[in-house]
């Protein structure tokens, strides 16, 4: 019996030493499920959590992938390169996204936040599944310029990724499905829901709006909420908001995906969450300030066959906004800034 005990003890010590050795591939961490906390003021989640449960190891793998330049052809451009946390994961200050070899795209980088509640992704809705969303920038020739097979080859050759995939997925495979699911797990957890506005409507922390913020809220409800619906501040639709085509581009928007002339110049209604941080604005980043955006809606909307009916009311184009109303609206929009989200260490680059 004494010899048996010594044998078990020696084996146990050897196992512990193996776990603490430099050979990370010999150790697979125990995984655990993570709760997706859905705010009470939010609509129902759209992402199917049953098909891709969020786990600690899956989330951490997705985070590492999000910030890894291996996903691009030149090994430098990561998802986080164009999606910076301090500006709600946008490319602040860049009109068009910049990718490999400093090539420039034709659209402004959208924010990454609350994607699990949305139904279609990208300015033109090129995909309706969050798992497939990363394929768009990865394979875009001026963004990341890579192929999925190229990405997987690099990951398979990396001992650390071999260990991480084994710890996150039962089959331990480094394949398209697991790669995309890991990125989706990271993005599903990226929920922005703790702005001043959220705490006000949830009656938390004794938060109150100023008189100007209350006035702006009322104006927003009257003149903006038909498109920027729910506490996601988007109805997930595609609309032509009267922007004339950007010179030299003639981006058709949704029509390039649907093939329908009725979708010409329609783009996804963006969420207004953290909007004070995400300049420049519109799909082509043509406006550098919220003041410019509101001035456009007041007096710059251009008529066309597909212009949204909401912008053709009361015998005028656009949305009538006095200088005082614009000031109040901007005060309200500033309450949508979620400082907890932009400083949350869970989403920060290592």
DSSP class of residue 307 equals B
Does residue 209 form part of some domain? yes
CA angle 191, 192, 193 (to 5 degrees): 110
DSSP class of residue 37 equals -
Predicted pLDDT at 230: 97
- Is 38 in the same domain as 185? yes
Predicted pLDDT at 93: 83
- Is 67 in the same domain as 124? yes
Residue appearing with tokens 């699990």: 116
**CA dist., res. 51 & res. 135, Å (int):** 19
Predicted pLDDT at 31: 81
- Is 312 in the same domain as 186? no
Q: Could you tell me if 18 and 27 are in contact, meaning their C-beta atoms sit under 8 angstroms apart? A: yes
Residue appearing with tokens 């988007």: 234
What is the domain count for the chain? 2
**Tens-digit pLDDT profile for residues 11-52:** 343 333 334 334 443 344 678 999 999 999 999 999 999 999
Predicted pLDDT at 29: 60
Interior/surface letters 238-256, b for 16+ CB within 10 angstroms, e for the rest: bbbbbbeebeeeebbbbbe
What CATH number corresponds to the domain at position 127?
1.10.760.10
Helix (H) or strand (E) holding 267: strand 267-268
- Is 201 in the same domain as 244? yes
- Is 161 in the same domain as 175? yes
Enter the tokens of residue 277.
């941080």
- The domain in which residue 268 lies consists of 196-339
Residue spans of the chain under pLDDT 50: 1-28
Asked which of 192, 226, 251 is the last residue of a domain, the reply is 192
Predicted pLDDT at 11: 39
């Amino acid at each position: 019996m004494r010899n048996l005990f010594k044998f078990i003890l020696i084996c146990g010590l050897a196992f512990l030493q193996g776990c603490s050795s430099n050979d990370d591939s010999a150790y697979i961490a125990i995984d655990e499920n993570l709760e997706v906390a859905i705010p009470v003021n939010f609509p129902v989640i759209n992402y199917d959590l049953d098909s891709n449960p969020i786990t600690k190891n899956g989330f951490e793998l997705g985070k590492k992938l999000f910030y890894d330049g291996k996903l691009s052809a030149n090994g430098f451009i990561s998802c986080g390169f164009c999606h910076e946390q301090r500006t709600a994961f946008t490319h602040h200050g860049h009109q068009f996204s910049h990718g490999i070899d400093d090539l420039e795209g034709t659209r402004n980088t959208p924010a990454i936040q609350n994607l699990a509640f949305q139904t279609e992704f990208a300015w033109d809705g090129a995909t309706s599944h969050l798992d497939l969303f990363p394929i768009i920038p990865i394979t875009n020739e001026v963004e990341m310029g890579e192929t999925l097979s190229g990405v997987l080859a690099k990951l398979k050759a990396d001992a650390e990724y071999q260990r991480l995939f084994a710890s996150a997925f039962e089959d331990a495979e480094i394949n398209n499905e697991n790669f995309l699911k890991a990125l989706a797990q990271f993005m599903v957890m990226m929920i922005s829901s703790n702005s001043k506005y959220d705490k006000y409507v949830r009656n938390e922390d004794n938060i109150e709006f100023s008189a100007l913020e209350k006035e702006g809220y009322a104006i927003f409800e009257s003149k903006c909420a038909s498109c920027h619906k729910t506490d996601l501040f988007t109805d997930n639709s595609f609309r032509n908001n009267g922007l004339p085509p950007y010179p030299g581009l003639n981006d058709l928007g949704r029509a390039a995906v649907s093939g329908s002339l009725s979708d010409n110049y329609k783009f996804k209604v963006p969420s207004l969450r953290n909007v004070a941080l995400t300049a420049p604005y519109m799909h082509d980043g043509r406006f550098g300030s919220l003041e410019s955006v509101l001035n456009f809606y007041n007096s710059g909307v251009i008529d066309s066959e597909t212009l949204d009916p909401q912008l053709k009311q009361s015998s005028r184009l656009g949305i009538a906004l006095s200088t005082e109303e614009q000031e109040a609206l901007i005060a309200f929009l500033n309450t949508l800034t979620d400082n907890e989200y932009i400083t949350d260490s869970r989403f920060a680059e290592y």
